[in-house]
Amino acid sequence: MLTKYGTDNILIMLGIAAIMLISGYFVENKFLTYTFVVLGLILTLFTLWFFRDPDRTIPVEALNDESLVISPADGKIVQIEVENERHYIKGESKRISIFLSPIDVHVNRTPVSGTVEFYEYVPGDYLVAYHPKSSEKNEHSRIGVKNKYGKVFYKQIVGLVARRIVCDLKVGDTLTVGDKIGMMKFGSRMDIAMEPDTEVLVKIGDRVVAGKTIIAKLNKSN
């Protein structure tokens, strides 16, 4: 299944691929024919792969326990830091950063159930998504969700190749953990900040899957 968030890109990219394939048929030079055909096939396969939207089974324990935080994105854990989060939590927090390569699924999901209390879109620069300063300098969205166990703040951050974020959310929305919220296109990063007494259940280098991997547990005593 292909994601609805990439319909415009899918049509454009498949259109270009079709032109390449048709051009290859009409060109008499065999080298150019093979070149156009190969490039057209590569672009077609990349488009279908990048914009895929596989079904995910949300862990039952996360659906039954709002303190559990699941990964909002596919990718690799590249940072786990304690820092001051100044936009929504407004104080010390634990941040987990996930880097998405171009071959990862780029559809995003909410990491917790709760109510959207904060949303902001921020235009920005073109730093590679794994650069530490990309979190603040690149184009990104800021999303704050609250439930009975605390606040979770997360960012969709896009990188060097393209600047395109899709996000369905608005303040006041009620979310269930694992709901699709949007997409980051062509190499991206997701930051998740939680209150400082949160128990982190992953480590740097771990691979995580959106909607499936439990990455943290909020403090139930809050």
Using DSSP's 3-state secondary structure scheme, residue 88 falls into coil
Say if residues 214 and 118 touch (Cβ distance below 8 Å).
no
Whole-number Å distance between alpha carbons of 164 and 139 = 8
Tokens standing for residue 94: 């634990």
| Selected catalytic residue, list 71, 113, 141, 188 | 188
Whole-number Å distance between alpha carbons of 125 and 105 = 23
User: 79: which residues sit within 8 A by CB, 6+ positions away?
Assistant: 95, 96, 97, 132, 204
Nearest CA-CA partner of 107 in 213, 221, 3, 214? 3
Nearest CA-CA partner of 165 in 206, 205, 119, 203? 119
Residue 188 annotated in active site: yes
User: How many Å separate Cα 51 from the centre of its chain?
Assistant: 12
Catalytic residue set: 188
